[in-house]
Chain A
Amino acid sequence: MNYFPDEVIEHVFDFVTSHKDRNSISLVCKSWFKIERYSRQNVFIGNCYSISPERLLRRFPCFKSLTLKGKPHFADFNLVPHGWGGFVQPWIEALARSRVGLEELRLKRMVVTDEGLELLSRSFVNFKSLVLVSCEGFSTDGLASIASNCRHLRDLDLQENEIDDHRGQWLSCFPETCTSVVTLNFACLEGETNLVALERLVARSPNLRSLKLNRAVPLDALARLMACAPQIVDLGVGSYEDEQDSESCLKLQAAIRKCTSLRSLSGFLEAAPHCLSAFHPVCHNLTSLNLSYAAEIHGSHLIKLIEHCKKLQRLWILDSIGDKGLEVVASTCKELQELRVFPTDLHGGGNTAVTEDGLVAISAGCPKLHSILYFCQQMTNAALITVARNCPNFIRFRLCILEPHKPDHVTSQPLDEGFGAIVQACKNLKRLSVSGLLTDQVFLYIGMFATQLEMLSIAFAGDTDKGMLYVLNGCKKMRKLEIRDSPFGDAALLADVNKYETMRSLWMSSCEVTLGGCKRLARKAPWLNVEIINENDNNRMEENGYEGRQKVDKLYLYRTVVGTRVDAPPFVWIL
């Protein structure tokens, strides 16, 4: 390959797009490192504190797309206090100062501000795509800047963010000349929308493929929008509250029939029970269906819809569908690859809507299933063993039994054998979440069999340090380990300090690790940032002479090449 001019090698590299592969290419030799550096278009940074914007720009001066992730995953469940970090501002400022021709920015669990969005919108002439997932700190004013200033905006995709809705006119800030929008997702906005501006934007966007509305968009507006965007592929319905057979309903049904490209349906944030029937004509083409926010739709209506969805590959649904509903899914959706069943009742009381029977039915009926997230109230080892036998192809297996420490409800045994069967059968398992009553034994199995495992979530499980050690010693490809309320302590934490350099991060909360143990770890491993989050009384931690035995509430450690971060709030103590 070295006999070719650089341009030829670069052209070959263009065909290699995965981050892992490009990282591997750059390690072959100095010349490939250099060529790859200058030609890398998409940069992925899984932890924004592992590197600095300056070093990013030095290494990759010509990238067009940046993906950044901030807070650890457990921040989704309110375990990371407000103000912890993950600020995107320094990144936007550094990129704005440089000559990078940024076109796409994808952020997850980061703090974004209106000032940052304004700076972003003014600094990059060719900026096309903004994707914000689980972010916070900004308002619709920031969106107005993006709409006004990004001449070639293609994607504005806001997923599950906390956005301060000023009920302003951000939608009307898109200039009349803007006709390039392909993705528009504002489902997470709480406030009223300028419907006229929205309709005009949709009408002048012939390339619009994905439109996800918020709950403030009523039925008659939806009908008009779909009438002027029959090319739509991905639709998020906002609100669907109207009389059956009302004029709006009929207009909507007529418009839907023309949407022959529709493949993905979601939303129904406010939904009348009968609304799904309007979508029956397009069901046979749907590959993705997300009804997990439609708490008001009864299971029977869900089933009637799903009976028509023979090509479904992805289904996100609430447990109100019940085991019977899952049996319908199992017999209808033979192409199903990913299933997520969310709980309607967060407090675990009430009826047992889905049980182990539903999971077994799905595993038996859907041969292509590789990814599952399943919330339920009860499980048995026998069911899990059957599931493992039926479905050895799982890449992601996340089971959440709502009651912590709940054993096999038939035998009262721990669920070690069940999860053991899963990891033994599923040789390609990359992500696993365990729950229910579990001893160290399950971790012995995980360490032994889950050779490809990259992410493991543990809650209320295990007996001794041995459990955590089995995992750390056995799972060579582990990248993210997150543990809560489990009896793992300093011995496990300190056994193999070098292991953490091979991982992105470790989270441990309400475990048995002590301040003394964490300090020892920080001393042994200067390439790690060892953060203690202590909301209660930071000062007491330092002054107390018994720090060796003082338990740490929340520990978050991660590898980094840029040392201690400077933006940590007072309740975060970096050792």
Chain B
Amino acid sequence: MANESNLAHEITELRLGLPGDIIVTGKKRVSSEVESELKCEPATKSQVVGWPPVCSFRRKNSLEETRTAYVKVSVDGAAFLRKIDLKMYKRYQDLASALQILFGCFITFDGTLKESECVPIYEDKDGDWMLAGDVPWEMFVASCKRLRVMKRSVMK
């Protein structure tokens, strides 16, 4: 493992391998130990062109790269389902507004659910039905497969 004092001394000299190794290179490279010391953003690695070596067709199909997240939305009592792209919205509030426009139902995701008429639930990747609003928005978008707005009147 890299020696702590050596790292501190050579913190401005980015290079590979164990302290003491001299590596001649014209390019800056960051070893994983130095990286954690400098607290580099992991994002810099992903900006290397063509790395990892995954073909563009596969990249397009990987979860990271999907630009849309269309899910079916059903509302109890409505004759038709709708499809919305969750990636169009940045937060739960935006989704609530969109649902109000599409279906006319008033939803909140912020815990005042006990009083509200409409309860938003979603089916996640594992097939379980979850109450929407518990997890951070990005996590919700990544795991939501379909959305359903239940009406309390139906639940009784």
Contact = CB atoms under 8 A, between A and B. Distances in A.
Q: Do A and B originate from a single complex?
A: yes
Contacts of B17: 407, 414, 437
Interface string A402-421: 11111100001010000000
A510 B48 CA distance: 11
A464 interface: yes
A273 B127 contact: yes
Contacts of B59: 346
B138 to A, nearest CB: 13
B57 A459 contact: no
A487 interface: yes
B139 interface: no
Contact of B50 (A79, A269, A433, A464): A79
Contacts of A400: 52-53
Contacts of B58: 160, 292-293, 342
B135 interface: no
A433 B53 CA distance: 11
Nearest to A348: B45
Contacts of A375: 52, 54
Contacts of A510: 27
Contact of B51 (A269, A404, A412, A464): A404
A512 B53 contact: no
Interface in A375-428: 375, 400, 402-407, 412, 414
Given A407-B17, A510-B27, A77 B125 contact: no
A460 interface: yes
Given A405-B16, A412-B18, A414-B17, A346 B54 contact: yes
Interface string B12-47: 000011100001111101111000000000110110
Interface in B49-82: 49-59, 61-65
Contacts of A551: 26
A77 B54 CA distance: 6
B82 to A, nearest CB: 16
B57 A188 contact: yes
Contact of B24 (A403, A437, A464): A464
Interface band, chain A: 35 or more
Interface string A203-222: 00000000000000000000
Given A344-B62, A347-B45, A412-B2, A77 B53 contact: yes
Contacts of B91: none
Contacts of A161: 57
Q: Is the interface of A mostly helix, strand, loop or mixed?
A: loop
A214 B145 CA distance: 20
Contacts of B57: 134, 160-162, 188
A347 B126 contact: no
A463 interface: yes
Contact of A79 (B43, B49, B54): B49
A485 interface: yes
Contacts of A274: 127
A76 interface: yes
Nearest to A512: B26
A295 B63 contact: yes
B1 interface: yes
A406 B126 contact: no
A356 interface: no
Contact of B42 (A348, A407, A414, A512): A348
B33 to A, nearest CB: 8
14 contacts: A76-B53, A77-B50, A77-B54, A134-B55, A188-B57, A244-B127, A274-B127, A342-B58, A344-B62, A347-B43, A400-B52, A405-B31, A459-B51, A484-B50
Give 4 closest A-B pairs by Cβ, nearest first: A77-B50, A347-B46, A160-B57, A76-B55
Interface of B: 1-2, 16-18, 23-27, 29-32, 42-43, 45-46, 48-59, 61-65, 125-127, 145
Interface of A: 74, 76-79, 134, 160-162, 188, 244, 269, 272-274, 292-293, 295-296, 298, 342-349, 375, 400, 402-407, 412, 414, 433, 437, 457, 459-460, 463-464, 484-485, 487, 510, 512, 551
